[in-house]
Amino acid sequence: MTSTVSSLSSAAISSALNADKTRLQKPITQLTTQETADKAEISAWGSIQGSVSSLSSVLSGIADIASTNTLKASSTAASVATATAASSAVAGTYTLSSATLAKTQEIYSAVQSSAAKNIGAGSAGKLIFTLTSGKTESVTVQPANQTLTGIAAAINAVDGGVQATVIGTSTGARLVLQSSAPGSANGFGFSGSGGLAALKYSAASAGGSFTRAQIAADASVKINGVPITSTSNTISSAVKGLTIKLVSSGTAAITVASSAGSISGAVSSVVSSLNAAIATIATETKYVAPKSSASASAASASSAKSGPLLGNFTATNLSTQLLAAVSGAAASGLSSTGIGLKVGSTGKVTFSSAAFNTAYEANPTGVAALLTKIHTSLSTLTVGALGSASATAANNKGSIAVQTAAQQNAITGLQTDALQIAKENNAQLQILVKEYTTAEAASTNAQITQTYLSIFTGTSNSSSG
């Protein structure tokens, strides 16, 4: 008969405890995996929210097309006249003829030996300018500054109705005075006193110590045969909503017509942002099938990953509705394709500015109505997704915020469950450690007892009979 008592080793206990830890950790690992997936969904919704927010921002460009100025003025001779049209202008052609420019008055002094020559009489002098409008201006010049350069500087310092320059000639220099603005009302005369009493000019007689080079004059032009005068070369009151700028004498035709240039750019921006939003949703909801060919490696198959929102109805439905807001739009006998908007087989919207411009020129009111409908549909969808800042706190959440909140609540629940399981696992492991320790102590005592018994009985741990 053989009698043996086996001892539990520390290595055996450690191995058993590790196995227990692995077993107890599995539920926590599953919860952590689910938490990672939920966080990925929140991140995906963040990407979609950013792209939809960008779309919402650019929609303002087509919010009120009816009030957008789409009139453009063009000239057949930009060297004679240019023009700009406000929204109040009336489409049509305006013929300009016999155009002459508004002019400033210009007079010049006798030639002096140099610009630095003092032409004063040795005492403080004053120049009194009287403009045709009736306004007067006074310029005081001290004796030391009564050179052509000094007098010009003093006049310009006043920054009034007269400007001064010094022009060099082959024989010396002249003081040139010019009205600050064109037009007959800006003509002027002046008289000097004190050290500058010798300087004077009469606007009425063009006499005095200065010679007139050019008389102040108003601009004049015939618009469709009607004579018009203007104190400046910019005429803004002759035709409602039309500002004409005369550049030189001659004849030109100004045409005012509808132009969709600014609106076309706004529509193009909306299309770009719409495509970006749809592409983002497609990325987050995509399905990537693993490679099934015999040559495909396990690594490449396992690397095929689908989007975190695969199968999420809220995301895919938002994409579908965004596309439908464009592809299904119709108003005033026009459809989206009629203004250059098309949805391709891949779900991407394309935009033809040429087709849009043609449609707008033919029917600006109809195009405006269609764009308003598209704007309303897209705005409704973006507000539904993002929420409305103007709504009350109880109902301002959009579908994206609702989805994100649900995932965040789920994560909080998973974390709470993981903490509770970890706490229970720790308690269970403590019990197992205690049980293993007790068992090892009992095994050790049994082995010692058997050793003593073998001494008294003359047997050993291993005997045969």
Check whether residue 224 and residue 280 sit in a common domain: no
Pairing of strands 200-201, 210-214: unpaired
Residues 314 and 360 reside in one and the same domain:
yes
Over the stretch 19-59, which tens digit does the pLDDT of each residue have? 877 888 888 888 888 888 888 889 999 999 999 999 999 99
CB 384 within 8 A of CB 373: no
Same domain for 335 and 242? no
- What amino acid occupies position 271? V
Mean pLDDT (whole number) for 326-351: 92
Is residue 465 included in any domain, yes or no?
Answer: no
Of 193, 214, 235, the position where a domain reaches its end is: 214
> What is the distance between the alpha carbons of residues 151 and 145, in angstroms, rounded to a whole number?
7
Name the amino acid, one letter, at 280.
T
Quote the pLDDT of residue 32. Answer: 82
242 and 223 in a single domain? The answer is yes
In percent, the amount of the chain with pLDDT more than 70 equals 87
Q: Which helix (H) or strand (E) holds 167?
A: strand 162-168
Identify whether the C-beta of residue 358 lies closer than 8 Å to the C-beta of residue 342: no
Pairing of strands 330-331, 349-351: unpaired
- Burial group, residue 68, by CB count within 10 angstroms (0-12, 13-18, 19+): middle
For residues 96 and 147, membership in a common domain is answered with no
Query: Tens digits of per-residue pLDDT, 367-383?
Result: 989 999 999 999 999 99
Q: CA angle, 410 as apex, 408 and 412 as ends, to 5°?
A: 70
- In this structure, the answer to whether residues 40 and 91 fall within a common structural domain is no
Question: For position 16, what pLDDT does the model report?
Answer: 73
- C-beta atoms surrounding 26 within 10 Å: 10
Alpha carbon distance 441, 389 (integer Å): 70
Give yes or no for residue 285 having a pLDDT over 70: yes
Q: Pick from 221, 218, 217, 219: which is nearest to 252 by CA?
A: 221
267 and 362 housed in the same domain: yes
On whether residue 454 sits in a domain, the answer given is no
Rounded to whole angstroms, the Cα distance separating 235 from 80 reads: 13
Which tokens go with 76?
């057949």
**pTM exceeds 0.75, yes or no:** no
Mean pLDDT for 297-310 is 67
pLDDT, mean of residues 148-166: 96
Amino acid code (one letter) for 448: I
| CATH code at position 115 | 2.60.40
Checking if the pLDDT of 1 tops 50, the result is no
> Do 161 and 228 have their domain in common?
no
Cα–Cα distance for residue pair 54/269, rounded to 1 Å: 10
**95 and 177 fall within a common domain:** no
Residue 184 sits at φ, ψ, to 5 deg, of: -65, -30
What DSSP designation does 143 have?
A: G
Q: Is 270 exposed, middle or buried (0-12, 13-18, 19+ CB in 10 A)?
A: buried
Q: List the CATH number of the domain containing 21.
A: 1.20.1330
Total domains present in the chain? 3
What is the residue range of 165's domain?
106-214
Q: Are strands 250-258 and 341-343 parallel, antiparallel or unpaired?
A: unpaired
Average pLDDT, the chain: 86
Task: Tell me the longest C-alpha to C-alpha distance in the chain.
Answer: 159
Task: Provide the total of helices (H) and of strands (E) in the chain, helices listed first.
Answer: 8, 20
Contact 281, 45 (CB under 8 A): no
pLDDT in tens, 63-89: 877 666 677 899 999 999 999 988 788
Question: Is 98 in contact with 223 (CB distance < 8 Å)?
Answer: no
If phi > 0 it is left, if psi is from -120 to 50 it is alpha, else beta; for residue 194 that is: left
Please check whether residue 329 is in contact with residue 342, taking contact to mean a CB–CB distance below 8 angstroms: no
